[in-house]
Structure formats: structure tokens, C-alpha cells
Homo-oligomer: A and B are copies of this chain.
Amino acid sequence: MVRLKDIAERAGVSIMTVSKVLRDAPDISGATKSRVRALAQEMGYVPHALAAGLRTRATRLLGLVIPGIINPVYARLIMAIEDRAFELGFELFLAHTLEKPEREELVLRRLLARRVEGLFVIPVARLGDTPGIYAELIRLNIPTVVLGLAPRFCDRFSRVANDEVGASREITQHLLGLGHRRIAFLAGPTVSPSAQARLEGYRRGLRDAGVEFDDRLIFQCGSTVEDGFQAGLELVRESLGVTALQGVNDLVAIGALNGLLSQGVRVPEDVSIAGFGNILSAENARVPLTTVREPKFRLGIAAMEIMHKLLQGGPPEQRVLRAELLPRRSTAAPAVNTLI
């Protein structure tokens, strides 16, 4: 590949001059500039960002470490971060932990060896003390932004998270506001911290409204369409007087909707359905819906904002983003109140 040196020789000037021209330094004559630029273009010069970075000690490299992107929730997050990073002139490494601590450590070490200037991390959930690699991040003073609900040991890092409890409560309040009093909750696996947060939001919503909590209305139903479907069938069988339904995510909600419909339950007159929109984004799930939108995209933007400040020497910062309620768009189809 063409180097500054090659251009310099053909132009009859020094390497330094070429370097300055290509960075548009102020102390080079217009004549030289245009001559050298033309030559660089003609010779197909491609700058060598790594070499430049070695010299300037600024790599403009960031790393994004996530469990895996089977979960499309991350898509919007990645998208937002990449987009802002790009605008700021950073390149983004993508790496997966697959939820394995050893892999997480390996991945982070490799990114450190690449001299990333900052890291976005969704840590592998684990109990106990600060893992060595995280201690390392602190020791090296690597700007790090933790995304989402995080283990205790992340307290010293910057963090952005959605207010999942608040968002779920808002859904519950919405359903209560529509007059529903018997709201079934499809709870998902309890190990998931976010599922727990959503259930907690449901509890608080009821409590705030003085509605009694009835644990027969809580269905431990997993998190898939099929799980939701089964819960829907069960719901019909049990005759608990349920008039509304809140799912831990949108798949469960859709499954339950199918389950209810398959049993001849009329919707939406009889039942309102709500759930977090993990899989179906607002654009994709264009069912008419009252949406409580969880700000996944804004989450990414906020994360990059914090990173930007950290890179400029700012202090760690923690933010919790609130969800927002969007109005229902139409009533043509069954109402699925989805919390994106």
C-alpha cells in the first residue's frame, strides 16, 4: 500500500510536508497542498490509522461487550451506540460474552490489548466479589459504561439503565386506569433480574391504587410465545375473573392473545393485554397499541454521552431512563399494550 513516504518521493517534498498536507495543517502553502493532495488521490493513498494512533496515543477505538445478540433488544442499543460513536470518529469493536465469565474476561483482555479508549459492557451476571478483570479496568482507569441492570460490583462504574420497575408499574397503572381490577401477570422465569423488576412494578402499581395483590393471578410461564399460549389456555380454564393481562414481554403477550382467541374469548372487549416489547420493536409490531416505550435507543445515546464525558476526564455518572406512555393508535385489532 501507498505510504506517505511514496507520495513524498514523487512530490519531491519531505514526508513531514505530506503528513501536514493530508491533515490540512495551517502552515503549508496552498500550492503545495493541492499538488500533494492530487498525488495522494492519484496514487490511491489510504491513511494508516493504526500507525498514527501509535504515535499520537489516541486510538479512537471503543469496545461493546454484550452477552450475545440472539436477544434483539440489544439491536437498538448497538445501533444507537455505533451511530453516535461513528459521528464522533470512533470505531466500534463488537464482542460477545455468551454469558460465560471466562469468555468475558478473555474478550475484555483482548480489547484492552487493542487499546480501546472506552468500553460499553453488559456484564455477565455473577455473585460475589469484583472479578479480577473488572478490578483491572478500574486500575487502568478505562472509561467504562455498564449497560442495564448490573451486579453489585459495578457500582464504581458509570451506568445507564432503564427504569424497569417504573415502566412495568406504568403499564399496570394504565390498565387500572382503564377500569381493570383483576389483572393477570405472566411472570416469566424468576431468575431474570429484569423479570423480577417487572413483577415488582406490577405489585407497586396495584399497591398505589389500593388494589389487593392476588398471587393466583401470577403465572410462572416462561418467556416464549408458547408459554404465553399455555398461560392463555390456563387462564380461560381457571375463571379467575381476569379482565386484563400483563405479560413480562411481548412474546408472552402475543402467545396469550392467541391462546385466548383460540378459546373464543373476545378481545379487546373482554381483555386488555400488555407486555414488554423485547422482541418486536415498535416498528415491527404495528398492531394498534397503547405503548409504554422503554427507551432502548435513548439508552444507547445516553451511554455514548456518558462515554464522551468520561473520555474527556469527567467523573462516573449513573442514569436511569424513564419509559414513556404513547397513545393508542387504532382499535382495529386486538389491543396489545406493549412496553418497548
Contact = CB atoms under 8 A, between A and B. Distances in A.
A44 interface: yes
Given A113-B46, A258-B261, A286 B226 contact: yes
A288 B139 CA distance: 51
A107 interface: yes
Contact of A136 (B44, B86, B94, B110): B44
Interface string A273-308: 000000111011111100000000000000000000
A70 B77 CA distance: 10
Contacts of A91: 93, 95, 110-111, 114
Interface stretch (A48-56, A148-156, A170-178, A312-320): A48-56
A107 to B, nearest CB: 7
A51 B48 contact: no
A259 B46 contact: no
A225 B50 contact: no
Contacts of A191: none
Nearest to A71: B75
A92 interface: yes
A333 B229 contact: yes
A127 interface: no
Interface string A28-64: 0000000000000000101111110110000100001
Interface in A1-52: 1, 44, 46-51
A115 B53 CA distance: 12
Contacts of A1: 140
A281 B224 contact: no
Nearest to A78: B69
Contacts of A48: 113, 115
A333 B262 contact: yes
A45 to B, nearest CB: 10
A79 B99 CA distance: 13
Contact of A280 (B94, B251, B283, B333): B251
A163 interface: no
Nearest to A50: B50
Nearest to A114: B49
A49 B285 CA distance: 44
Contacts of A227: 286
A267 interface: yes
A310 interface: no
A83 interface: yes
Contacts of A78: 69, 94
Contacts of A230: 332-333
25 contacts: A1-B140, A44-B136, A49-B113, A49-B114, A51-B54, A64-B94, A68-B79, A69-B69, A69-B78, A69-B79, A70-B76, A70-B79, A71-B75, A72-B75, A82-B94, A91-B110, A94-B94, A224-B284, A225-B286, A225-B287, A230-B332, A259-B333, A262-B267, A279-B279, A279-B284
Interface of A: 1, 44, 46-51, 53-54, 59, 64, 68-72, 74-76, 78-79, 82-83, 86, 91-96, 98, 107, 109-115, 136, 139-140, 224-227, 229-230, 251, 254-255, 257-259, 261-262, 264, 267, 279-281, 283-288, 332-334
